A and B are shown apart, each in its own frame.
Chain A
């Protein structure tokens, strides 16, 4: 687990009706998360965060949810990664490190494979760890192959 340069908590609200199995839900556009290298991410459920910053109830469990992250070339760099595994509480407090790539958040999405644990109007919250492109040179040595 690399030290955190910057972090930003994002939220995906599932909407006013319970999503069906297999539903993909895209991330919204967060200006802070444009032109960045993603270095890691973490999911949380209601056992760590009760309400999202916008006041929505957080999903009770991450079982049945996966995440797909695309880079700026539309490559699926992280494909259907189980959200449960990205919860620090399931990994001794560590968030998931990834080799940095330029994230394209608005084409990235979560998939509700099993909607049992997801109720209407609940939110999935995902914390992104990132480095802005303009600061990348300062920290690139941390990620030298």
Chain B
């Protein structure tokens, strides 16, 4: 664990796919809601981490998760610099409101550490990633974010 994050013993990853425009060069502006995950909603979340992810069969997801999350490299940066995370608590209130996704990549060299928040339950299907403007997606690999929730 980095920083003072509460310890967790388990994690679960969800995939939030993005929609791209016709020429596949940019991600369409808007909100991308998280898929429902009833199991995760019962858990007390202690931390969160984001990786780039995709379903390009030429590169398996393990490779993507290991090699790509280092931030600010080439075409990847345009996506993470343009996106925000909003998380809702189970009581319907905003827990994180437009948190810059930039800070949620764990392997940004020497600069960022995984952020954490006080343990709590998250309303998964109400939470979303927001792109206020068109983000470049010149790579064929980035099709969404893999969001890892750490929980106990």
Residues of chain A at the chain B interface (Cβ within 8 Å): 1-9, 32, 44, 47-55, 88-89, 92-94, 125, 127, 139
Q: How far is the CA of A92 from the CA of B110 in the complex (A)?
A: 7
Is B112 close to A, CB under 8 A?
A: yes
Contacts of B96 in A (CB 8 A): 4, 6-7
Q: Is the CB of A3 within 8 A of B97?
A: no
For the complex of A and B, the 6 pairs showing the least CB-CB separation, nearest first, are A9-B98, A93-B112, A4-B117, A93-B113, A50-B81, A48-B102
Is B103 close to A, CB under 8 A?
A: yes
Q: How far is the CA of A89 from the CA of B94 in the complex (A)?
A: 25
From the candidates B99, B103, B133, name the one contacting A55 in the complex (CB within 8 A): B133
Q: How far is the CA of A49 from the CA of B101 in the complex (A)?
A: 8
Mask of B86-120 contacts with A, CB within 8 angstroms, 1/0: 00000001111111101100001011110111100
Beta-carbon nearest neighbor of A138 in chain B: B118
Residues of chain B at the chain A interface (Cβ within 8 Å): 3-6, 78, 81-82, 84, 93-100, 102-103, 108, 110-113, 115-118, 130, 132-133
Q: Is the CB of A53 within 8 A of B4?
A: no
Q: How far is the CA of A32 from the CA of B86 in the complex (A)?
A: 14
From the candidates A8, A53, A54, A88, name the one contacting B103 in the complex (CB within 8 A): A88
From the candidates B103, B108, B118, name the one contacting A139 in the complex (CB within 8 A): B118
From the candidates A2, A8, A51, A93, name the one contacting B132 in the complex (CB within 8 A): A51
Q: Is the CB of B103 within 8 A of A48?
A: yes
- 6 A-B pairs with C-beta separation under 8 A: A1-B4, A48-B81, A49-B82, A51-B133, A93-B111, A127-B100
Q: Is the CB of A5 within 8 A of B118?
A: yes
From the candidates A7, A51, A93, A139, name the one contacting B99 in the complex (CB within 8 A): A7
Contacts of A92 in B (CB 8 A): 110-111, 113
Contacts of A52 in B (CB 8 A): 132
Contacts of B115 in A (CB 8 A): 4
A34 to chain B, nearest CB (A): 13
Contacts of B81 in A (CB 8 A): 47-50
Q: How far is the CA of A51 from the CA of B97 in the complex (A)?
A: 15
Q: Is the CB of B133 within 8 A of A9?
A: no
Known: A3-B4, A5-B118, A51-B82. A88 touches B112 (CB 8 A): yes
Q: Is the CB of B111 within 8 A of A53?
A: no
Q: How far is the CA of A9 from the CA of B82 in the complex (A)?
A: 14
Known: A32-B94, A51-B82, A55-B132. A9 touches B100 (CB 8 A): yes
